[in-house]
Amino acid sequence: MTVPLLSLQGLTKAYPGVVANDQVSFDIGEGEVHALLGENGAGKSTLVKMIYGLVKPDSGQMLLRGAPFAPAEPRAARADGIAMVFQHFSLFDALNVAENIALGMENPPAMRDLASRIREVSETYGLPLDPYRTVGDLSAGERQRVEIIRCLLQDPKLLIMDEPTSVLTPQEVEILFETLQKLRSEGTSILYISHKLEEIRKLCDHATILRLGKNVGECTPAETSARDMAEMMVGTALKTPTRSDRIMGNVALDISGLSVPSPSAFGTSLKNIHLSLRKGEILGIGGVAGNGQDELLAVLSGETLSAPDAVKLHGQPIGRLGPVARRRLGLLSAPEERLGHAAAPDMSLTENAMLTAAVRENLVNRGFLNWPAAKAFAKRVISTFDVRTPGPENAARSLSGGNLQKFVIGREVLQRPEVLVVNQPTWGVDASAAAAIRQSLLDLAAGGTALLCISQDLDELMEISDSFAALNEGRLSTPRAASGLTVDEIGLMMGGAHGMEVAHV
Amino acid sequence: MIRLEKRPQPSRAWSMATPLVAVLATMIAGGLLFAILGKDPVEAIRTIFWEPLFGEFAFYYRPQLLIKGGPLVLIAIGLSLGFRAGIWNIGAEGQYIMGALFGAGMGLAFYPHEAWYIFPLMVLAGAFGGWLWAMIPALLKVRFGTNEILVSLMLVYVAEQFLASMSLGLLKNPEGFGFPGSRNLQQYESAHNADLIAGSGMHWGVVAALIAVIFAYVLLNRHMLGYQIRLTGEAPRAARFAGVKPARLILFCLGASGMLAGLAGMFEVSGPSGQVSIDFNVGYGFTAIIVAFLGRLHPVGIMLAGGLMALTYIGGDIAQSNMGLPSAAIQVFQGMLLFFLLAFDLLTNFRLRLGKPEVA
């Protein structure tokens, strides 16, 4: 066998209280698409940060084509031919593509030369992109192209991609895969980080699976079933949420002709949204991030007001009511951002229980707060939803993401909502906590609550929803029954490839 | 290398201990400073912290502590409500002046008529004056989104011009031989905010400060409005999600702090100061900002901090006259106190770690 491109040997990195990587070793061959698979918190990010020179390993070494490789900073890693596309784009909305790329370069050439190089590279790899377009007008898929082209301009040997498909529609994923395959055929290695098993099976030659910082196995994805990979990733047999047959009741939430202008320059305006939600129904709303999900939640929670008749609860217009009045009527919500939006980071869980439960759990008497009752309620959320914390007096920020998410969802579920709106209920949550949260949502619907679940995780939506619709640039597609929908149909509802030119490979 | 590491949650023990540690550190660093100036450091520290309370002339200094501490606490309590919510009223000095002018104006309007209701009316007028002055930045912020820090601060200088104009014009004592300044309210029984127990320094302003401490404590810990204030300061987005109306909070916080500052001004002009004069204000409104932070924006902490601040003022004066310490040295000493407090405050949220530095 030839010398691998990059060989990791016994990499260890510990943070206070947690070992992020424990003796991780594996090789990435030349021209190989190597998958790095693992749950949130398994140590994938720390590992690639070490390769990219952002974090220094405590022990272990890396060999690049047989020579010791220890980048002190990303610049050194880039000089050695390693490039990385981050999950969160670092682009300025107000600048155009070429300007954004020039900002990331050490010695940017003249803008005209750069623009022609961008054109050249983008045509070679089938990533059509006009260097003079403003980034703010680009779709998520096109923004990702900007990041990829920024990397390709360095002519990398190894391209690291961190969860690249989380912001793409199925059609856009197809286009991305064609580009990646073209890169592979030219000899570029790709380290592909993901937890989406099907796409790894389709794309990757080899997979390394991390669990709790340790390398727990390797496999050839094409020959391994998704279920086997998932169980290696989680370490236990997965429990699939069970759904019971539900009887749909009357319409609980009715949105008609809802249009709300975006509060900020690069936010999304909601445009003429129609939907109706019956008791016991779970409506899944898919879509790529930034297509109006946060705005839709804000309009339903009461943080943003709308025309009075645009939002109706049990036939009663509530468009002008604030969050407290809506909670009183039984419309509850759980936003995506746990720290800072759904919960106050430095406040205790008891105080965070007060945050939304004050009205419905009778925690207030003539303006005076009943702290013992709030504490009892917080304890009830903690025990019912198996939140791992020493007690309700602990600050919200001391909880792990999954535990805090269980608390945030549990806080709303236990208030017996008539209608519950959740945004990304299992984002960044480990598989067992995610399964528990989904089960609780299904149980809630079985009890007659109408549920609106906004999520970017299509598997999740298919698992729990009765009907499905997608947000695309602030417009909502017509909801359809979830069973029988194909991936292609879902992709088209999400906006297809957003008119993005197909890669000409 | 020493590294700072964020604690998973704020340390309650450190949050209580930092003021004490800061005072100790100030004593040490201040002692060094005095030693460099050629004074006996132990004697200097003893003079500042011991003399006013237990020294030979403590019978004179103890009432002074209440007289100086009362307005500081009263103003700082009001400011702390806004500071907790991220609403920065920097113009308490102006509200203090306006409270004094409204209060004194109300009293002088009745002169020389004597009646029981005059003083209560002055209290109301003083509170109204401070409230009114604070409503200007509040309404501008709610309506146009102006910065309350700038507006409230600039209104201090407007208020100072008002004070000068009143001392020289409308409120000038007609029997004052042409000197600027109003009649002395100490000599007008119905308007005089006298000591409740003669010679104790305990006037109505001190009582009001104590009531304000209790009121703020109950508000912040037991009432929805106080909870909303804390929530807005901790996480503004979560506060909106919880249903807090930001405009209402701005009006309440600025209004309450203006009202308390106005009351402090009114109690001062009708009591210890006695008259409206050009140099009536001595910076209580600004010092109260320090007191509020020294007290960790906590009502009980503010009460203690107000006492401590008053102590360093009076002790500093004694050290100046007895030991010949320069007044600048005393100011440095007070500055050190705030510096150490803010520095040690870091330990509430971070802990020190010895270890190697880390890339990124």
Q: Pick B59-324's CATH classification: 1.10.3470, 2.20.70, 2.40.50, 1.20.1300.
A: 1.10.3470
B231 CB neighbours in chain A (<8 A) are: 344, 347, 351, 355
> What is the domain partition of chain B in residue ranges?
1-39+328-360, 59-324
Long-range CB contacts (< 8 A, 24+ apart) of A427-431?
A427/A336, A427/A455, A427/A456, A427/A457, A428/A40, A428/A401, A428/A402, A429/A40, A429/A401, A429/A402, A429/A405, A430/A39, A430/A40, A430/A41, A430/A234, A430/A402, A431/A39, A431/A230, A431/A233, A431/A234, A431/A238
Above 50 in pLDDT, residue A266?
A: yes
Above 60 in pLDDT, residue B356?
A: no
Estimate to the nearest angstrom the gap between the alpha carbon of B135 and the chain centroid: 19
The mean pLDDT value for A130-137 works out to 87
B10 CB neighbours in chain A (<8 A) are: 346, 395
> Which residue in the set A303, A367, A371 is minimally distant from B241, CB to CB?
A303
Q: What is the pLDDT of residues B194-223, one digit of tens each?
A: 888 888 888 999 999 999 999 999 999 999
Domain with CATH 3.40.50.300 in chain A: 6-234, 251-493
**Which pLDDT belongs to residue A505?**
47
**Which pLDDT belongs to residue A239?**
65
CB contact under 8 A, B243 and A55: no
Interface of B with A in 216-255 (CB under 8 A): 222-225, 227, 230-231, 234-235, 237-243, 245
For A354-394, the DSSP string reads HHHHTTTTT-EETTEE-HHHHHHHHHHHHHHTT--SS-TTS
**Which pLDDT belongs to residue A498?**
62
> Which residue in the set B9, B238, B242 is minimally distant from A394, CB to CB?
B9
Are A480 and A460 spatial neighbours (Cβ–Cβ below 8 Å)? no
User: Position of tokens 């070679």?
Assistant: A124
The CATH fold of domain A6-234: Rossmann fold (3.40.50)
Of A205-209, A422-426, A490-494, give the lowest mean pLDDT range: A490-494
Q: What is the pLDDT of residues A369-399, one digit of tens each?
A: 999 999 999 999 999 998 888 889 999 988 8
CB contact under 8 A, B242 and A395: no
Of B4-8, B41-45, B296-300, give the lowest mean pLDDT range: B4-8
Q: What is the pLDDT of residues A313-346, one digit of tens each?
A: 999 999 999 999 999 999 999 999 888 999 999 8
CB contact under 8 A, B241 and A345: no
Above 50 in pLDDT, residue B360?
A: no
**Which pLDDT belongs to residue B359?**
43
Q: What is the pLDDT of residues B268-315, one digit of tens each?
A: 999 999 899 999 988 899 999 989 988 889 999 999 999 999 998 899
Q: What is the pLDDT of residues B137-174, one digit of tens each?
A: 999 999 999 999 999 999 999 999 999 999 998 999 98
Distance from CA of B191 to the nearest CA of A (A): 37
Q: Percent of chain A having pLDDT more than 70?
A: 95
**Which pLDDT belongs to residue A196?**
78
Q: What is the pLDDT of residues A179-237, one digit of tens each?
A: 888 889 988 999 998 877 888 888 899 999 988 888 888 889 888 887 788 888 877 76
**Which pLDDT belongs to residue A431?**
75
The chain-wide mean pLDDT, for chain B, equals 91
The CATH fold of domain A251-493: Rossmann fold (3.40.50)
Q: What is the pLDDT of residues A72-92, one digit of tens each?
A: 888 888 888 999 988 778 888
> Which residue in the set A73, A369, A398 is minimally distant from B359, CB to CB?
A73
pLDDT level of residue A473 (50, 70, 90 thresholds): confident
The mean pLDDT value for B241-257 works out to 95
